[in-house]
């Protein structure tokens, strides 16, 4: 196994967990459609974060150009997928049985956390590019 393959395994696992959060969150919303009130800006953020995960997985292939990855560099590169995972988790409310899911109320209740993490994700991406 090459160092590139070894390093990308952990990155792929974390990105896969983030994609799982997004797909599961969307599936939960679809499953409980009768209780969900959609808010289109929130839906756009869900789509954007999904594509950020896919983009990071695709751009991880560029790591193959590194001759040797040291632990500090690897830990730094790992920050971006971890931030994306946290961002994916923040996107979806914890569903209470029997209650209505209003994405507009949830959006405004959690937008500060979301945009704080979104700015961190963008900052990490600019440093690793």
| β-pair partners for 101 | 36
Query: Which residue range(s) make up the domain with 74?
Result: 3-128
Which contiguous run of DSSP H or E holds residue 37? strand 36-37
Between 36 and 97, name the one with better pLDDT.
Answer: 36
Confidence of residue 47 (pLDDT cuts 50, 70, 90): very high
- What is 80-97 written as a DSSP string? HHHHHHHHHHHTSPPPPT
Residue 15 CA: distances (Å) to CA of 40, 41, 70, 87, 101 = 25, 23, 21, 11, 26
Question: How far is the C-alpha of 122 from the C-alpha of 105, rounded, in Å?
Answer: 25
- Domains in the chain, number: 1
Q: Looking only at Cα atoms, what is the longest distance across the chain?
A: 55
For the chain, report the end-to-end CA distance as a whole number of angstroms.
Answer: 25
pLDDT greater than 60 at residue 31: yes
Do the beta carbons of residue 80 and residue 56 sit within 8 Å? yes
Q: Give the pLDDT of residue 89.
A: 92
List pLDDT tens digits, range 57-116. Answer: 998 888 887 777 788 888 888 888 999 999 999 999 887 777 888 899 999 988 888 888
């Amino acid at each position: 196994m090459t160092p590139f393959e070894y390093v990308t395994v952990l990155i792929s696992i974390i990105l896969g967990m983030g994609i799982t959060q997004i797909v599961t969150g969307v599936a939960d919303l679809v499953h409980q459609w009768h209780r969900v009130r959609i808010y289109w800006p929130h839906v756009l953020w869900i789509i954007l974060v999904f594509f950020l995960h896919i983009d990071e997985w695709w751009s991880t292939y560029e790591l193959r150009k590194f001759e040797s990855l040291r632990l500090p560099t690897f830990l730094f590169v790992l920050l971006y997928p971890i931030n994306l995972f946290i961002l994916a988790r923040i996107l979806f409310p914890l569903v209470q049985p029997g209650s209505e899911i209003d994405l507009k109320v949830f959006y405004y209740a959690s937008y500060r956390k979301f945009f704080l993490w979104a700015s961190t994700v963008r900052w990490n991406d600019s440093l690793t590019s």
